[in-house]
Copies of this chain bind each other. A is one copy, B any other.
Amino acid sequence: MAEVRLGIIGLGNVGSGTLSILAENGAQIAEKLGFPLRVVAVCARQLSNKKIPDGLQGALQTTDWREVVNHPEVDVVAELVGGTTVAREIVETALENGKSVVTANKELMALCGPELWDKAIQKGVNLAMEASVAGGIPIHTVLREGISGDRIVALLGILNGTSNYILTEVEKSGAAFGDVLAEAQKLGYAEADPTADVDGFDARSKLAILSALAFGQKIRAGDIFTQGIRRITPIDFQYAHTLKHTIRLVCAARQTAEGLILSVRPALIPQSTILAGVQGAYNAIWVRGKYGQDTFYYGRGAGPEPTGVAVVSDLMRVAREIRSGSPERVSPFAHEQLAEFRPVSVLVQKRAYYLRFRVHDRPGIIAALAGILAEKNISLDAVLQLPGDNKTSLPFVITVEPSTENAVQDAVEAMNRLDFMAEPALALPMETSL
Contact = CB atoms under 8 A, between A and B. Distances in A.
Interface stretch (A27-35, A163-171, A226-234, A400-408): A27-35
Interface in A289-343: 289-300, 303, 305-306, 308-313, 315-317, 320-321, 323-330, 334-337
Contact of A296 (B142, B299, B306): B299
A145 interface: yes
Contacts of A290: 25
Contact of A292 (B294, B300, B334, B336): B300
A25 B320 CA distance: 29
A313 B150 contact: yes
A194 interface: no
Q: How many copies does the complex hold?
A: 2
A148 interface: yes
Contacts of A277: 274, 277
A32 B291 contact: no
Interface of A: 17, 21, 25, 28-29, 31-34, 130, 136-138, 140-142, 145-151, 216, 274, 277, 289-300, 303, 305-306, 308-313, 315-317, 320-321, 323-330, 334-337
A323 to B, nearest CB: 6
Contacts of A17: 291
A395 B337 CA distance: 64
A337 B291 contact: no
Contacts of A306: 291-293
A337 B142 contact: no
Contacts of A294: 298-300
B311 A149 contact: yes
B149 A145 contact: no
